[in-house]
Amino acid sequence: SAAHIGDTGMEMIKDYCKYGGNLLVLGGPFAYGNGGYKGTALDEILPVLSQGPFDLKAVDGVMKWTPGQKMIKTGSLDALKPGYIHYVKVKPAAKVLLTCGEDPFLVAGAYGDGTVMCITGTPLGSSDFCNTPQWQEVLANILDYSGLKKKGGSGGDK
């Protein structure tokens, strides 16, 4: 949560991304709206806007890669069915790379010289998508795209 990171921690994250660091933010019970991101430095750097507490939304959609994105190399989305995602608004300059139904699941953006990516899905509910071999492959591709997998990586096609 933003409260646990604190103002100084958020400013450090902001500077890290501004000067070329890459960041991946995951969903969960204390992330985005319920994590108190709205109106903080995190809201400034993330490619999505938190909508306030109680932002978890049940989803029953099919996961799909956004047409034209070039991130996925291997892996299948068939087993990836999160039970909940965070309701967020995508900033105008951001790119939605993966959706769940009509909702953004993976969003990428730039902050300074860094790449910032948000996964809005959560490991909550009856779905265990984050413990599947398919998720491991997809997550490896996400990390590779963002430059987080390789030391000194520059990220994907920002």
pLDDT at 67: 76
Q: Identify the domain containing residue 107 by its residue range.
A: 2-146
Number of domains in the chain: 1
CATH code, domain carrying 10? 3.40.50.880
Element (H, E) at 44: helix 41-45
Angstrom CA distances, 141 to 51, 76, 103, 129, 154, stand at: 28, 12, 20, 16, 14
Residue 60 lies in a domain: yes
Residue 156 lies in a domain: no
Residue 126 lies in a domain: yes
pLDDT at 148: 62
CA distance 149 to 84: 26
3-state secondary structure of 117: strand
Residue 58 lies in a domain: yes
Each residue's pLDDT tens digit, 55-113: 999 888 777 887 777 666 655 676 678 889 999 999 999 999 988 888 999 999 999 99
Residues in CB range of 114: below 8 A, 6 or more apart? 16, 17, 18, 19, 20, 21, 22, 23, 155
In this prediction the pTM is 0.86
Residue 154 lies in a domain: no
Residue 22 lies in a domain: yes
